[in-house]
Amino acid sequence: MFTNKTILITGGTGSLGKVLIKRLLSEDCGLPKKIIVFSRDEAKQHAIRIEYLNKKASTDEVIFNNFKRLLEFRIGDIRDFESVARTVRGVDVVFNAAALKQVPSCEYFPAEAVRTNTLGPENIIKAIRLFDLPVETVVGISTDKACKPVNVMGMTKAIQERVFIAANIECPRTRFICVRYGNVLASRGSVIPLFHDQIKTGGPVTITTSDMTRFLLSLNDAVDTIFAAVKDALPGETYIPIAKSAHVMDIAHCLIGERPIKLQEIGIRPGEKIHEILISDEEAYRTEKRGDYYVIKPMLPELNPDYSYGKTLSKEFSSADRCMNKEEVLQYLTMHQLLIEQCDCNGIEMLR
Convert the pLDDT of each residue in 195-236 to its tens digit.
Answer: 999 999 999 999 989 999 999 898 999 999 999 999 999 999
Looking at the predicted structure, is the pLDDT value of residue 349 above 60? no
The pLDDT > 70 percentage for the chain reads 93
Convert the pLDDT of each residue in 215-225 to its tens digit.
Answer: 989 899 999 99
Phi, psi of 129 (to 5 degrees): -70, -50
pTM of the model: 0.90
Give the pLDDT score at 346: 39
Cβ neighbours of 82 (radius 10 Å)? 11
Mean pLDDT of 61-73: 89
Give the pLDDT score at 59: 61
Secondary structure (3-state) at 166: helix
Give the pLDDT score at 248: 94
Give the pLDDT score at 183: 79
Rounded Cα distance, 270 and 105, in Å: 9
Rounded Cα distance, 219 and 350, in Å: 10
Rounded Cα distance, 314 and 284, in Å: 6
Give the pLDDT score at 306: 73
189 or 294: which leads in pLDDT: 294
Secondary structure (3-state) at 307: coil
Looking at the predicted structure, is the pLDDT value of residue 341 above 70? no
145 is catalytic: yes
Return the beta strands (E) in 182-225 as ranges: 205-207, 213-216
Looking at the predicted structure, is the pLDDT value of residue 190 above 90? no
Confidence of residue 153 (pLDDT cuts 50, 70, 90): very high
* Calculated CA dihedral for residues 203, 206, 210, 216, nearest 10 degrees: -100
Give the pLDDT score at 54: 82
Give the pLDDT score at 55: 75
Give the pLDDT score at 348: 35
Confidence of residue 352 (pLDDT cuts 50, 70, 90): very low
Domains of the chain with bracketed CATH: 6-182+218-242+278-318 (3.40.50.720)
* Identified catalytic residue from 18, 101, 145, 273: 145
